Amino acid sequence: MATSMELPPILMLGPPLFSHLFESRNTHRYRFLKLPSLFKPYSLFEFLETQNTHPSSIQVVLCNPLQPVTADVIRSLPSLSVIATTGSGTDHVDLSECKCRGIQVVAVGGGHECASEDIAEMALGLLIDVMWKISAGDRHVRRRRVPSTNKESFTFPLPSSPKLGGKQVGIIGLGRIGMKVAKRLESFDCIIKYHSRNKKPLVSYTFYSNVVDLASDIDVLILCCPLTEQTKYIVNKEVMLALGKDGIIVNVGRGALIDEKELVQCLIKGEIKGAGLDVFENEPNVPKELFSLDNVVLSPHVAAFTSECFTDTVIHVNL
């Protein structure tokens, strides 16, 4: 049997959530080198030295979306062939460097059936939570202490029209995730509309080439598209004002799809009704103005972090 030092190393940056499950199932196959964060003033070389590992022996990096994998990092690992990241995007990885080197980059989110289901579930969960104020109600119950026999204190004010059923929902990005969101919304008798780069020929939902027009016609806006130069701030102030004071936004894509400063202002001023956010523009920063609002649900970018998915992905790239 191989001693652990003879096993091929895998470099884990972050490390990604749930990597421990993958790790525990594969300790007989790989040696796991866990560098907590590249943000710390700690060089990759120094770390590998403490692990008695030469940079050229690293072929695989596992990371999370909070972990920039820069050209410098990639260049320090001459044998690197796979970067697997949790999350739905790869904008934290220097893709042009990877392209030059022929390094395969795999994101758990978006590309895989399993992760897109997870993200769709999270979108529905955040939406129902915002509408029915589930998290706010839970806070209310936990905060409410004595007297427990006070019947009045048990009640909790709900918005005047919390129902999801029958609402008009606009989806930006009708790809694998967006389609799964739409399927689930249909079971709530919602009317689906969408915006994407191109009209989908096989889809009967109403297509909008213009996001402001879409926002004017819906009650709920769900963001499921990747972040690109074209989609950055696709939800700007104009879109939010078009959505209006009864409108709700759910973002399970990327933080920078929304102009976050404007979003915060719209939420504070009641220019939109509420928001469910799994992603933020400058993660891990969450605008502190949101902490006191009951019309937002704040989620620490969990949608693509499930162990089942992570394992599936890692198996998929055939480490």
Q: What character string, x for contact with a second copy (CB under 8 A) and - otherwise, covers 119-158?
A: --xx-xxx-xx-xxxxx-xxxxxx-x---xxxxxxxxxxx
Give yes or no for residue 273 binding a second copy (CB under 8 A): no
- Minimum separation from the CB atom of position 6 to a second copy (A): 30
254 is catalytic: yes
Site of tokens 């070389």: 45
Whether 205 and 182 have beta carbons less than 8 Å apart is answered as: yes
Active-site residue identified among 92, 112, 195, 301 = 301
Q: What character string, x for contact with a second copy (CB under 8 A) and - otherwise, covers 18-57?
A: x--x--------------xx-x------------------
Position among 19, 67, 85, 90 found at the interface with a second copy (CB under 8 A): 67
283 is catalytic: yes
CA distances from 182 to 96, 213, 299 (A): 33, 19, 21
Give yes or no for residue 310 binding a second copy (CB under 8 A): no
Give yes or no for residue 162 binding a second copy (CB under 8 A): yes
- Rounded CA-CA distance 296/286 in Å is 12
Size of the site for a second copy (CB under 8 A): 70
54 is catalytic: no
- Minimum separation from the CB atom of position 112 to a second copy (A): 13
Active-site residue identified among 254, 260, 262, 281 = 254
Give yes or no for residue 302 binding a second copy (CB under 8 A): yes
Residues between 172 and 211 that touch a second copy (CB under 8 A): 183-184, 186-188
- Please identify every residue annotated as catalytic: 254, 283, 301
Q: Which residues bind a second copy (CB under 8 A)?
A: 14, 17-18, 21, 36-37, 39, 64, 66-67, 114, 117-118, 121-122, 124-126, 128-129, 131-135, 137-142, 144, 148-158, 160-165, 183-184, 186-188, 283-286, 288, 291, 297-302, 305-308
